[in-house]
Amino acid sequence: MSTIETNTVKPISGSSTLTLGESGDTVSLGSGVTAGTGLTGTTINNNADNRLITGSGTANTLEGEARLRYDGDVLWQEASGSTTEFRQTVDGAGTYWSSLIASASDVKLYTRTASPLLLGCNNAEKMRIDNSGNIMVGKTSLALGTAGTEIEVGGTGVFTASGNHLLNLNRLASDGDIVRIYQATSQEGSISVSGSTVSYNSFSGSHWSRLADNSKPTILRGTVMESISTLMDWYQVEYTKDEETLTEYIGALPDGKSVGDSHTVTVDGVEYTGTISKEDNERLPKCKISDTEDSKAVYGVFMDWDNDDTVNDMYVTALGAFVVRIHGDETVAIGDYLQSKGDGTAKVQADDILRASTIAKVTSTEKTHIYDDGSYCVPCTLHCG
């Protein structure tokens, strides 16, 4: 084998063949030599910024991959229906990898922390964002009965733990509000701390209740309510999803069905068929508008309907600061105890002894509501429990 050195190669016109040396010889071109158009190179198809180059299977041709890119920091690998992004950072503790996998239905976030030598570490799903935008940590579906955290697109937060507390709230350096509660962007209450005392401000305690016939008539705020012997009842459907037993609240018992019957519910746009069961309730009774004077069955006073429910539940306020509806013929004074008048309103109790029939104690004579029948509401502290 020999080496051929040349200083000058003159242009060749027409269809000519230039042969230098023999098979296996090396041809060296001097500096500044430019190949003419008659010499062919490698073609890169679909070339663009940051695209990785792969073989095409065709001689002298490479492919610029639109779905495989690297910009010096991030390696993207894309496939039909999904996107995977790899990002690598390094510090003194080791190498940290994360990958984000997106599909038509979910976005799954995986994390991995390992020394570069620990190649056997397994990736494990830590977070999921579903196609509605709900975020799930430690769980793969919106299931109240599954441990984990949900941040739902409508603003609802769900925290479920097994055998552990759910929330730590820690205010440092000073006393004050721990939680502020708003309605229509106006603050309506708070939970605050002063020293070792936690206060619920302003506090009123209410119970769920319902009329026996599940009707929803007009009931004036502060109306006196009595409990009846029938307990509240709510129903749910137990169904299976991904080998996990879940429940979906349905409220009232469907017409013509009983506990144990099959029933279909729709959850996140998907239908599931399960079994009807009754929710546990050992303490909350149904109620009626008080119709007995000096009744010892007084449960509290009507606050509002539970408009978030599928049945006609109401809030009966029984403890704390609220208002009580007074009969129009009654005149109250601060400190008066109140009892049922027997028509949904209250009257002044004849003595100052706290009795089983005592509803509340008047704290102000300012009328907060005046109704067409002459009855009115005043602020009170409720003593029904």
Residue 119: C-alpha distances to residues 97, 101, 114, 122, 338 (Å): 12, 20, 8, 8, 75
Report pLDDT digits (tens) over 37-47: 555 678 888 88
- Distance (Å, whole) CA 78 – CA 280: 50
Given pLDDT bands bounded at 50, 70 and 90, which one contains residue 141? confident
Structure token digits, residue 174: 């000073």
pTM above 0.85, yes or no: no
Tokens 């502020």 locate to 180
What is the pairing mode between strands 148-151 and 157-160? Answer: antiparallel
- Distance (Å, whole) CA 362 – CA 334: 5
Q: What is the DSSP letter of 293?
A: T
Residue type, 256: G
Q: For residue 328, which of 371, 265, 363 has the smallest C-alpha distance?
A: 371
Given pLDDT bands bounded at 50, 70 and 90, which one contains residue 114? very low
309: buried, middle or exposed (CB in 10 Å: 19+, 13-18, 0-12)?
middle
Averaged over 209-238, what is the pLDDT? 96
For the beta carbon of residue 317, count every other beta carbon within 10 angstroms. Answer: 25
> pLDDT at residue 233 above 80?
yes
| 275 vs 269, more confident | 275
Averaged over 164-176, what is the pLDDT? 94
Residue type, 342: G
Q: For residue 225, which of 305, 286, 158, 180 has the smallest C-alpha distance?
A: 286
The domain defined by 207-232+284-383 folds into: Virus Head Decoration Protein; Chain: A, (2.40.300)
Given pLDDT bands bounded at 50, 70 and 90, which one contains residue 206? very high
Pick the range with the lowest mean pLDDT from 122-136, 211-225, 288-302, 355-369: 122-136
Summary mean pLDDT of the chain: 83
Specify whether the CB–CB gap between 222 and 324 falls below 8 A. yes
Report pLDDT digits (tens) over 240-269: 987 888 889 999 899 999 999 999 999 878
- Distance (Å, whole) CA 185 – CA 180: 11
Specify whether the CB–CB gap between 150 and 166 falls below 8 A. no
Specify whether the CB–CB gap between 65 and 53 falls below 8 A. yes
First CA to last CA distance, the chain: 108
176: buried, middle or exposed (CB in 10 Å: 19+, 13-18, 0-12)?
exposed
Specify whether the CB–CB gap between 220 and 302 falls below 8 A. yes
Tokens 């009966």 locate to 316
> pLDDT at residue 376 above 50?
yes
- Distance (Å, whole) CA 272 – CA 238: 9
Q: Where are the domains of the chain?
A: 80-130, 207-232+284-383, 233-280
